[in-house]
Amino acid sequence: MSGDHSDAPIAARVRQMERLLEERGLVIPGALDETLAAFLNRSSPANGARIVARAWVDPEFRDRLLADAPAAINELDLSMSGGLHVQDLHAVANSDREHNVVVCTLCSCYPLALLGPSPTWYKSESYRSRVVRTPREVLREFGLDLRPEVEVTVWDANAETRYIVIPVRPAGTENLTEEQLADLVTRNGLIGTAPV
């Protein structure tokens, strides 16, 4: 997350809440900071890449992922919460005829546990407003020029619901291991702004 926001009003409220919890003996001093640090250390695009690679090699897992993403990722010992607030997760799959892209038009809601810290451009007002109105133009700016017949669906994340894109598996990867496939997947691919 960019910038120092320690003087923001929400930061003051968070510090006050931490102090009250510690004073009342509900949490050990420093425990909240340790929990947050541990969560952020486990948050990585590598988690999302593991999910995609498994979906590519295991059609039954892919079906479970599309039907109930939180339960499916739990099979890989992953979750959205990391011990923090739990959000709903939906997986959406790209195909030769459909391309999915994710945005949060209100702020920057994002599956942090699975994709790591969000990129600066994802939080920008330009991306948030333009990808909804002119998704093909924005995707072209990312270097992704889709054929005219490909339908583009824009998914708007929010505080309760997050999305992860399952990109199309690249041709010629049939002999790669699951780990090698995971190495091909990028954070932008998981958001839908890049192919794999």
Active-site residues: which are they?
A: 104, 107-109
CA distance 182 to 78: 15
